Structure 1
Amino acid sequence: MMALPLQGVRVLELTDGFGDTAGRFLADLGAAVVRVELPGGSASRTAQPLRDGVSIPFALRNANKRGIVLDLDADDDRERLRLLAQRSDILLESFPPGFLATRGVGTADLCRVHPALVAVSITGFGQNGPYRDWAAAEQVLYALSGVLSRSGEPGEAPLLPPNGLIDESVGVHTAWSALLAYYDRLHTGHGQLVDISAFEVIVHGFDPGFGVQGSAAAGRSEDFPRGRPDAANFYPVYRCGDGQVRICLLAKRQWQAMYEWLGRPEEFADPKYDTIPARFAASERLNPLIEQLFSTYTRDDLVAEGAARGIPIGGLNTVAEVLTTEHFDASGTFVDAEIAPGLSARVPSGYAKINGERAGLRSRAPQLGEHNDQVLRSAGADTRDPISAPQREPGARPFEGLRVLDMGVVVFGAELGRQFADNGADVIKIENSQFPDGLRQSKRGAALAASVAWGHRNRRSLGINLRSPEGIRIFKLLVEEADIVLANFKPGTLASMGLSYDELAAINPRIIVSESSAFGSVGPWNKRLGYGPLVRAACGVSALWRYSDASAGLCDGSTVYPDHIAGQVTATTILATLIHRLQSGRGAAIEVAQADTAIVQLGNQLVAEHLAPGSISAPGNSDPYSAPSGVYPCAGDDEWCVVTVRDDADWVALCGVLRRPDLVDDPRFATDELRIAHRAEADEVLAQWLLLHTPTEATDTLQAAGIPTGAMIRLPDLLTNPHLTARGAYIELEHELLPAPLPTAKQVAHFGALPDWPLQQAPLAGAQTREICEEVLGLSTVEIDTLVHDGVLQPPADDPALSPVSSTV
């Protein structure tokens, strides 16, 4: 077994719901995670879907952990918790605010016992603010975060995206935040409290309305204040001989290839159809032509023909088909493993590969109290040797002193590099003027794309032609003093340039090289183009993101998922490797496939389908495991509210709000199972009441009764949301080329000791070329001028070496 980067890091986990996925990710990366449950076990042990009495979510999210039971109402067990905290590095807890503190074992209490402890609280809405005590559920967070308002078909109810994506996304950001604070502790000796609100994570990190969005920014709901954006034809889906395929015609050359394949129809000969808006406007005439052409092909034939012609095409896979896809077999995305005693299944292994090996599932989730004797016997003083790291005073940004060479592009690349730039690293964006980053090409007539301002802030830019031998030589000189190289090209691209991990590690053994792509470097799909809509279609996300299995259309056209989350997964894996490098002195090769991110996050449905074939389908807005639940119209024009009645207690509370005590014992509604069996009647009871109230009124009233409820929020309303305002969620980002400041995240997690992100404006392409070559490489003015004249270095057009006077010297 390979040496995982977090081996030796100890994590104490007291979560039930939000946060358990964070512990699983840290455990995948090698941390020793001890899960603490209260007597009787966590509620998540019965979370649906269940198969053979086993909760699939619990089994997946708690693999690779050890489990114990402590009664926190007993003095002896509280003392045992304190002893465990003293020998832990990171604490994860998701109890309601105040639950642990009233028992004398709150995060602040445990940090006083162990000042080096990083204590992370993960709740629906955080430790303060007007929503602090609200009940959170995935559906509620989709509504409140602005995601729901962009999902669905015009004229229809907004549509909830698939379940599971939010829990996993919150877990990834929690793992990142915990390691960021732990990395800081290694350099300062001080732990800290970290407050994570799942609401803010989804607002800022899932598919942010005010953040990097790339080409999928079309259809943002501030442009469609009522109704859902008509986004289906941005990435249209067509029927073919054995199913459906999706195409992504973004570049002019891709459309021209499609035009040739169609036989050059005269009605589309006008050059205006080289643009996406013109094709979108003509979709009613264009789509039938393409569907007729595709009708005689199979999905595989269309994908192959598209690849030959340079047209991005991907098959639409159902959840069942994903489980038997040859590529995912070859890539190691799935593993057949025991997930509970006597129960084995085909499960997603894990997010990332390190040095070619998967950091994933190694052992099943623990039975209740399974490791009490083992763990509690060893509780006591920490006898490990401390990790040696350069020391600095608390309050600095954690990555100060690190240098990152960033070749990443578009949404994924921007998000990944930004994690390091915002936290103090010197991130040098490598740019070639002949092949500009796709974000720089999406200006829509403005001097600078908003996505560039959001995504490239706090960086420096080096213009260099890496297609020249001299450019490669310059890059390798930079590698000598760098810490991290980031790239998300097609697999094999770095190696073809002479920049593989092995070649770069020979120059600098401490270098960490991260390569990401759509489907990874291993398997028959490894060369497929990496557009997010094709990844979603291939991984089963799109098939579940529609109103029903019978729906012809897909409703994921206006999202950028999984780009942002895959970038966060990659950043977390790199950070774990940085921690390991403090001990080993060596870097590593990291690989993250966006498809693997989506499949891990859809794991509940995939495993449930494997264990009971045919059981998983697109649920639409109805939660198959609770009723009443869903998206309901409220008073007003296109106003909606999400409500989830989780259990009998919620039903009793709802009957109280509705002033219908007679319904509590109604034989149709007396249990969860009966309410699901009589879903239509249960929904009608709630729907009639909601029609009399605005979404805000309904949310306030039902949340006061403890029922998970969320008004559907549109993106502009996030900026004035009272909870986000109280927690300082937004700040203004200025850029001299923008007409007005942009709202942007001030920070996502709330750290006790880390500063907020700086807001240095994004550079123009190549803006710091001369500065970097002088300061980092020590090149003289004459050397730089020569490299500029030769086209190796590419500073901005106003560089002195490009002036007419300079060119005649």
Structure 2
Amino acid sequence: MSDGGVRGGDLAAGAPLAGVRIVDAVRGPLSPITRYLAELGATVDRIVADDDTRELDGFDHRAAHAGKRRATGEDAALIAAAHAVVEDGTLDTEVLRAGRPALVTMTVSDFGHGHAMSDWQGSDAILHALSGELCRSGIRGEAPLLLPLGIAYQCAASQGAYVLVTTLYRALRTGVGDHIDFSALEGAVQALDPGFGIGGSATMGRPATLLSRDRPVRGYQYPIIPCADGHVRICLLAARQWQGMFGWMGEPAAFADPSFARTSVRYKSPELIPAIAAFFADKTRAELEEQGQAHGVPIAALATLEEAIEAPHFVARGTFRRDGDVMLPAGVVTIDGRRAVGAPSSSSPPPPVPDAPARDGVRDDALPFAGLRVIDLGVIVVGAETSRLFADGGADVVKIESRTFPDGNRQSYLPYDLSVSFAAGHRNKRSLGLDLRTPAGKALFLDMVARADVVLSNFKPGTMESLGFDRDTLAQANPRLVMVESSAFGATGPWSRRMGYGPLVRAATGLTDLWRYPGDPQGYSDSITIYPDHVAARIGAIAAVALLIRRLRSGAGGHAEVAQAEVMLAHFAADVARASAGADRAGPPDRPWGVYRAAGDDAWCVVSVRNDADWHALAAILGLDDDDRFATRAGRAMHGDLLDRLVADWMAGQEADAAMHLLQQAGVPAATMLRIGELPGFAFYRDRGFFREERHPYLDEPVVNESYHARSNAGAPVATRPAPLAGEDSAQVLADWLGLDADAIGRLVDEDVVQPTDPAVYDLIRDTRSAAARGK
């Protein structure tokens, strides 16, 4: 097999992308796209001029470009040796690609190209408003709350890195490159918390379009409770977790009714949270964490970012590294048991651009993962999303399911194990019902592993080992296997065995503390957000694809581990650097910068001033262009409260959509706050063809999904196979993967080793839909 022109030393044990050459000509907040590839061993050369006014400064610059090289040679020579070029409109990608059929190019911008909004101006706040995230952030009766600065762009950059490495993998397999038109808004709407994507199990699969137009009530869903030295958050989702809480409190008679085992009953009880608060009041955060873990109660102390950096768990894991006078995240992925921190230094000349592809049996026009077999052991959101990315890309993804331990996302508002949310997160997969606790089930699983390319899981650390499927066992069954494991806090360190949910990860890493209203100590506002689940899935997929690229050259597989807490901390890399240097956290770039109420029912418009040019354009609209108080950034900061009032007074008389268009036409970043249901009809998404509506054979509601992960010249849309019922494809999968005949499969079904969909489920679906039709 050809090595695709990417050469290195001991590839089986080395950095997955060692030898891959990337040219980075991106300025601004999407610069971290290539940092992910640099961490995995790619050589990333930056050719951006030092004096460019759009370049990042200070701590943001160091965080975005960690692991990259400042170009010292001729730009043309660097590009001639590159496998991929990422730029922001300063280079002519058509010229670059001429005569270079395997070259991958990516142009990044806020809104993409080729439509009426291509010239609109973006900011982190604009991405929140137009992605549907802002409408879910805050507290009922209050203004929507902008998320901590930088999250939207960071999530978009993670999506961009996934698209880039996936396109590079396809080019190395087929010899055919591509040009990607990457939009930050499309990246954010997919990777931050997609309103039409899969949600957490607590939602029972209900679509986000059913949410109230207002924000959630204070303290909704994942309570934050004061204690002796701060606050803690609890996540009581399962009945066994409630039983642990009930026992920990001494089994108070007021809550002994068995109905409290149901989440809905606990949410509605006006007495429960005050009783828990009284029980917690005299205990410290550390005591509550220790006792809660002992009783099986998912709990985490609310930490500040500064406390998280110094937490013994992250110190033990080596989450941070020193870079001169500051600390930075040490990379978000562990490869083969070692932290991925970049390519080894080498004086050897750069490898040539591949002139012959690896060509492992795929057509030139194939989807990137065509021909790959993926075993999906994932659960809830991270597991669903990681494998769906492979399924959308053409892989045969088989979800292993068990009646005894069903995926929490199988919980549904319907009486059968399917929902709009599950359908969105599991499209293009097949389901195999298999009891992995039986000897026969274990043997079947290992037979499948021997034929697989990738195995994905996101259990609590130790679960795979307890099943007998540790890393060495799987690698022995298939030395070419790529394995990716994801967990809340990682497989090592003092917190490795903690029960981890997204809300607890956010609390422990300092995000919850940052995500609250100024001046309101109890104004925590991240209660219904699914973060970092979707973006952690992208990081896991990036690691898997990088290992597949290494396998093209070495023939050997590998193992990657992702800690969701570290993904989140990497998004705050610049703030980690500031905190370690004793500097203040960065505020908004300029004033005004915020959410302003517009005319209409709970209508809001975001306005972002980034620089003097933005201010002068806004001042002309407001009639303030002659007011010397606001002429400079220092003056706008000094009179910021007054300036906000003036903008608010003007906005109150404007329709949000009209204000957005007026300001954007003047070059001022502005955006109306979109609700989830408004996204498909918004001009940007409609003109780009981003959303599509799919019909599922077992659902009455339409399933809305993205049409592509990023627009490109290849233009191949993702596939549209409906998500399966549990065990629905069992017989076909065993026939396709293992060659088992009907008699052999029948015996396994009789022994309950293989668990196809119960025929009664189809009757239940028919009866439920018939009853719904009669009700209409």
Alignment of 1:240-639 (within 5 A): 240-282=227-269, 284-338=270-324, 344-360=325-341, 382=352, 388-390=358-360, 392-445=362-415, 448-548=418-518, 550-612=520-582, 615-616=584-585, 623-639=587-603
**Which residue of 44, 47, 66 corresponds with 1:33?**
44
Paired with 1:458 and 1:184, the residues of 2 have a C-alpha distance of 19
Residues 146-155 or 203-212, more deviating = 203-212
C-alpha distance 360-549 of structure 1, shift in aligned 2 (>3 A): farther
Query: Is 1:705 aligned with 2:716?
Result: no
Question: 1:802 maps to what in 2?
Answer: none
Q: Secondary structure of 1:548's partner? A: coil
C-alpha distance 730-574 of structure 1, shift in aligned 2 (>3 A): same
**C-alpha distance after superposition, 1:711-765 (max 9, x if no partner):** 1111111021011000001111221110132111111301211511111111111
Question: 2:85 maps to what in 1?
Answer: 91
Q: Secondary structure of 1:757's partner? A: coil
Q: Secondary structure of 1:43's partner? A: coil
Q: CA shift at 1:220, angstroms? A: 6.9
The letter for the 2-side match of 1:718 is L
Whether contact under 8 Å (2:337, 2:560) holds in the other structure is yes
Paired with 1:91 and 1:767, the residues of 2 have a C-alpha distance of 43
C-alpha distance 447-575 of structure 1, shift in aligned 2 (>3 A): closer
C-alpha distance 176-224 of structure 1, shift in aligned 2 (>3 A): closer
**C-alpha distance after superposition, 1:258-290 (max 9, x if no partner):** 2233333333333332222222122x3211100
Whether contact under 8 Å (1:164, 1:604) holds in the other structure is no
The letter for the 1-side match of 2:491 is S
The letter for the 1-side match of 2:52 is G
Question: 1:213 maps to what in 2?
Answer: 199
**Which residue of 36, 40, 45 corresponds with 2:56?**
45
Question: 1:137 maps to what in 2?
Answer: 123
Q: Secondary structure of 1:152's partner? A: coil
Q: CA shift at 1:652, angstroms? A: 1.2
Whether contact under 8 Å (2:59, 2:574) holds in the other structure is yes
Q: Secondary structure of 1:179's partner? A: helix
Whether contact under 8 Å (1:332, 1:349) holds in the other structure is yes
- Report how many aligned residue pairs link the two structures: 748
Q: CA shift at 1:470, angstroms? A: 1.7
Q: Secondary structure of 1:246's partner? A: strand
**C-alpha distance after superposition, 1:118-157 (max 9, x if no partner):** 1111110101222210111001110111100000011101
Paired with 2:341 and 2:656, the residues of 1 have a C-alpha distance of 42
Query: Is 1:647 aligned with 2:650?
Result: no
Question: 1:742 maps to what in 2?
Answer: 703
Question: 2:148 maps to what in 1?
Answer: 162
Query: Is 1:199 aligned with 2:185?
Result: yes
Question: 2:679 maps to what in 1?
Answer: 718
Whether contact under 8 Å (1:150, 1:228) holds in the other structure is yes
Whether contact under 8 Å (1:204, 1:210) holds in the other structure is no
Paired with 2:344 and 2:288, the residues of 1 have a C-alpha distance of 40
Whether contact under 8 Å (2:454, 2:481) holds in the other structure is yes
Residues 321-330 or 115-124, more deviating = 115-124
Q: Secondary structure of 1:462's partner? A: strand
Query: Is 1:755 aligned with 2:716?
Result: yes
The letter for the 1-side match of 2:692 is I
C-alpha distance 132-491 of structure 1, shift in aligned 2 (>3 A): same
Q: CA shift at 1:788, angstroms? A: 1.8
The letter for the 1-side match of 2:189 is V
**C-alpha distance after superposition, 1:646-696 (max 9, x if no partner):** 111111111112233212xx1x32221221122112212222211121111
Paired with 2:660 and 2:167, the residues of 1 have a C-alpha distance of 34
**C-alpha distance after superposition, 1:379-438 (max 9, x if no partner):** 9x9377856332543322121111111100011100001011111111111111111001
Whether contact under 8 Å (1:543, 1:549) holds in the other structure is no
The letter for the 2-side match of 1:67 is R
Question: 1:371 maps to what in 2?
Answer: none
Question: 2:655 maps to what in 1?
Answer: 694
Paired with 1:224 and 1:772, the residues of 2 have a C-alpha distance of 38
Whether contact under 8 Å (2:171, 2:357) holds in the other structure is no
Whether contact under 8 Å (2:243, 2:261) holds in the other structure is yes
Whether contact under 8 Å (2:417, 2:726) holds in the other structure is no
The letter for the 2-side match of 1:275 is R
Paired with 1:437 and 1:10, the residues of 2 have a C-alpha distance of 40
**C-alpha distance after superposition, 1:268-321 (max 9, x if no partner):** 333332222222122x32111001101121112111211111110111111111
Paired with 2:315 and 2:241, the residues of 1 have a C-alpha distance of 30
TM-score w.r.t. the length of structure 1 is 0.89
Whether contact under 8 Å (2:41, 2:341) holds in the other structure is no
C-alpha distance 732-221 of structure 1, shift in aligned 2 (>3 A): closer
Q: CA shift at 1:83, angstroms? A: 4.0
The letter for the 1-side match of 2:250 is G
TM-score w.r.t. the length of structure 2 is 0.92
Residues 185-194 or 416-425, more deviating = 185-194
C-alpha distance 602-383 of structure 1, shift in aligned 2 (>3 A): closer
Q: Secondary structure of 1:503's partner? A: helix
The letter for the 1-side match of 2:226 is R
Paired with 1:775 and 1:790, the residues of 2 have a C-alpha distance of 21
Unaligned 5+ segments in structure 2 are: 1-9, 761-776
Question: 1:6 maps to what in 2?
Answer: 17
C-alpha distance 39-474 of structure 1, shift in aligned 2 (>3 A): closer
Identity of aligned residues (%): 40
Paired with 1:354 and 1:42, the residues of 2 have a C-alpha distance of 37
Q: Secondary structure of 2:469's partner? A: coil
The letter for the 2-side match of 1:140 is I
Alignment of 1:666-705 (within 5 A): 666=628, 668-705=629-666
Paired with 2:153 and 2:519, the residues of 1 have a C-alpha distance of 24
Whether contact under 8 Å (1:13, 1:23) holds in the other structure is yes
Whether contact under 8 Å (2:589, 2:609) holds in the other structure is no
Query: Is 1:230 aligned with 2:194?
Result: no
